[in-house]
Structure 1
Amino acid sequence: MITVTGANKHYGSFAALDDVTLDIPSGSLTALLGPSGSGKSTLLRSIAGLESLDSGVVIIADKDVTRVPPQKRDIGFVFQHYAAFKHMTVRDNVAFGLKIRKRPKNEVNKRVDELLKIVGLAGFQHRYPAQLSGGQRQRMALARALAVDPQVLLLDEPFGALDAKVRADLRTWLRRLHEEVHVTTVLVTHDQQEALDVADRIAVLNKGRIEQVGTPEDLYDRPANEFVMSFLGEVAKLNGHLVRPHDIRLGRDPSMALVEHEGTQHSAGVTRATVERVVYLGFEVRVELRNEATGDLFSAQVTRGDSEALGLRDGETVYARATRIPKLPERVADAAGDSAPDETLSLSK
């Protein structure tokens, strides 16, 4: 268990952390997610001991480590850039932490062989970092961090320097790795898909404060506020309400039935809209639309089959409705109010 209580960190007048309190369960993979400047890397570095807090407490495994130096916190740390020893082989890089701890040679060899197999680098032990791909170097960095059997593994944007395909592959690999080694892991990322794909729990940060903590499902389906909803996945604004694009249904019939899906307290009504653009994204199709009453742009996400069945074409008129509107304590209001009389078609159920 990692517990951060009342953490504050200022750089001049800028509050990087503003009274942050967070519990990270043992054995979990927790993502710290937020935009640039939200405080997620500062929080991670404070857990690692690489940043000193102005005030607050950091506890790891029931031990107050707030004033304990990084090398004595029993953590493994992986940065975005691999920080490999270029003159050492993969094997020597992974073994480095064990050797400086003067572990017996047979123990070092056994542990390194085990880790290279786990991270998929068993055949690469005699190569140098320059002979590896970016994804292989990052797996080597993770093996090196795990070699000393840390209580906590901290990952600071570990896949940020890699291309999209390699990032996706490594996300899947990291999830499997975590299930195998079960070390308490904290991942900093600004990539919403990465957090949803990998983490057991997500803490969303904004302007140095935690907006919400929960499972990916909790945060996606039950966001605490509009910031969380907007940051964790795509959103569309439909008649003053934030909705998920995949929760917008399109049709040709203006009298389409209003549907109140579970979790929806009210309906945003049916909106007459003009198709601005149809974008094919493999199985899914993004339909960019303009509200004919207000001129506002919004997007809906439908299947390719639904798009073809509707025969969607640029410039045509369709009718849109939200099948689900998340319950939020706040609502986005248009300049003229939450809704205007001519924004929706008033239909009876």
Structure 2
Amino acid sequence: MITVTGARKNYGDFAALDDVDIEIPSGSLTALLGPSGSGKSTLLRSIAGLETLDHGTVRIAGKDVTDVTPQKRDIGFVFQHYAAFKHMTVRENVAFGLKIRKRPKAEITKRVDDLLEIVGLGGFQNRYPAQLSGGQRQRMALARALAVDPQVLLLDEPFGALDAKVRADLRTWLRRLHDEVHVTTVLVTHDQEEALDVADRIAVMNAGRIEQIGAPDELYDRPANTFVMSFLGTVSKLNGVLVRPHDIRLARQPELPAAEQGEAGTGVIRSTVERVVRLGFEVRVELRNDATGELFTTQITRGEAQDLGLVAGDTVYAHAPIGVRDGADTPA
């Protein structure tokens, strides 16, 4: 387990970490999610020992490592940029940490071969980093970090420099890798989809503080406040209530179904269809609130869109039964 208590870090007048407390369970994959400047990378680097806290403690597996050097914290660290040794082969790059620790040659060979198979680079041992794709170089970097069998694996925006398709493929691969090796992993990302896709737990950070921490479903379905809801997925605003676009129901008539009449929510909103966009299996409907003029968006299935027969200029009635009132600290 990683335990950070009362962590504070200032750069001049800027509070990068403002009294942060967090526990990261052993064997979990926890994402630190937030916008630029929220403190997520500073927190990760503080766990690694690459930043010195102004106040607070860091414990790894019960040991206070607050004043311990990074080399003695038993961690693996992977940055956004690969930091590969260009003059070394893939095998030599992955073996580097083991050679520094003077492990037996046979042990190094077996460990490196096993890891390269795990990360899908079994046939690339003798290639150089320049001969690999970006995704392959990042897999090599992860294998190198895992080679020394660290207690903790820290990933700082590891896929940020890659294109969207490669990022998506590597997210799936990272989740499978974690399920196989079970090393305690902390992932820094500003990508909401990435956090939801790979993490067991997500800590949403803002202005040097943790707004909420929990399982992805918990944060998505029961956000603690409007910041968490707005940052973790798309939102629409109806009558001062923030809702998920896929929770908005559309109808041709203003009457709610009997099953929904007792539900708290946005109320029924007379709206005008501005645009209908078909996105494969789903349809995005862009609407204007007739009373306020505010634009909002809903996502419905192709079947629902066909049943409603929506076209630009149509009048429809929108309603969402759940949400977070704009400016509130707790779910509505």
The verdict on a shared fold, with TM-score over 0.5 as the criterion, is: yes
CA contact (8 A) 1:41 1:156 kept: yes
Q: Is the 8 A contact 2:288 2:295 kept in 1?
A: yes
Mapping of 1:180-191 within 5 angstroms?
A: 180-191=180-191
Corresponding residue number in structure 2 for 1:268: 266
One-letter amino acid matched to 2:64: D
Q: Does structure 2 retain, via aligned residues, the 8 Å contact 1:156–1:187?
A: yes
Partner deviation per Cα, 1:212-251 (whole Å, 9 max, x = no partner) = 0100011001111111011101111011101110000111
**In structure 1, distance between residues paired with 2:126 and 2:42:** 36
Q: 1:175 — aligned with what?
A: 175
Cα–Cα, structure 1 residues 63 and 127, in superposed 2: closer, same or farther, change >3 Å? same
- 1:56 is aligned to 56
Tell me, in whole angstroms, the C-alpha distance in 2 between the residues paired with 1:195 and 1:241: 25
2:123 is paired with a residue whose SS is helix
Task: Give matches, 1:141-152, under 5 Å.
Answer: 141-152=141-152
Q: Alignment partner for residue 328 of structure 2, among 314, 317, 330?
A: 330
**1:272/1:259 CA distance change after superposition, 3 Å:** farther
Q: Cα distance, 1:327 vs. partner?
A: 8.0
Please give the root-mean-square deviation of Cα atoms over the aligned residues, in Å: 1.6
**One-letter identity of the residue aligned with 1:314:** A
1:70 aligns with 2:54: no
Q: Where does the alignment leave 5 or more consecutive residues of structure 1 unmatched?
A: 333-349
- CA gap of 1:95–1:198, structure 2 versus 1, over 3 A, is same
Structure 1 length normalisation: TM-score? 0.92
Query: Normalising by structure 2, what TM-score?
Result: 0.96
Q: Counterpart of 1:342?
A: none
Partner-residue secondary structure (3-state), 1:122: coil
Spell out the pairing of 1:17-96 with structure 2 (5 A cutoff). Answer: 17-96=17-96
What is the identity, as a one-letter code, of the residue corresponding to 1:322?
A
Change in 2 beyond 3 A, CA 1:331/1:296:
farther
Aligned match of 1:298 in 296, 299, 312? 296
What is the CA-CA distance between 1:266 and the residue it aligns to?
Answer: 1.3
Q: Which residue identity lines up with residue 139 of structure 1 in the other structure?
A: R
SS of the aligned residue for 1:330 comes to: coil
CA contact (8 A) 2:263 2:321 kept: no
Q: Kindly tell me the number of residue pairs found equivalent between the two proteins.
A: 330
Return the alpha-carbon distance in structure 2 between the equivalents of residues 82 and 233 of structure 1. Answer: 29
Which aligned pairs between 1:212-223 and structure 2 lie closer than 5 A? Answer: 212-223=212-223
CA contact (8 A) 1:248 1:300 kept: yes
CA distance in 2, matches of 1:291, 1:108: 65
Q: One-letter code of the match for 2:125?
A: Q
- Letter of the 2:219 partner, please give it: L
Q: Answer with 247-256 or 115-124: which moved more.
A: 247-256
Partner of 1:245: 245
Q: Deviations over 1:115-166 (max 9, x none)?
A: 0000000001111111111110000000000000000000000000011111
The residue type equivalent to 2:271 in the other structure is: A
CA distance in 1, matches of 2:312, 2:233: 25
Letter in 2 for 1:319: Y
- By how many angstroms is 1:318 displaced? 1.1
Q: How many angstroms apart in 2 are the aligned matches of 1:177 and 1:123? A: 18
Deviates most, 298-307 or 110-119: 298-307
- Work out whether residues 266 and 322 of structure 2, in 8 Å CA contact, stay in contact via their aligned partners in 1: no
Could you say what secondary structure the match of 2:41 adopts? helix
Matching residue of 2:207: 207
In the other structure, the counterpart of 1:277 is: 275
1:306: Cα distance to partner? 1.1
2:76 partner amino acid = G
User: In 2, distance between residues paired with 1:66 and 1:281?
Assistant: 50
Structure 2 Cα separation of the partners of residues 182 and 326 of structure 1: 36
Structure 1 residues 331 and 183: CA distance shift in structure 2, 3 A: closer
Q: Secondary structure at the match of 1:124?
A: coil
Residue of structure 2 equivalent to 1:156: 156
Q: Aligned partners of 1:145 and 1:327: how far apart in 2? A: 44
Unaligned stretches of 5+ in structure 2? none
1:312 to partner: Cα distance: 1.2
User: C-alpha distance in 2, partners of 1:260/1:245?
Assistant: 17
SS at match of 1:162: coil
Instruction: Confirm or deny: 8 A CA contact 1:7 1:17 kept in the other structure.
Output: yes
CA shift for structure 1 position 16: 0.2
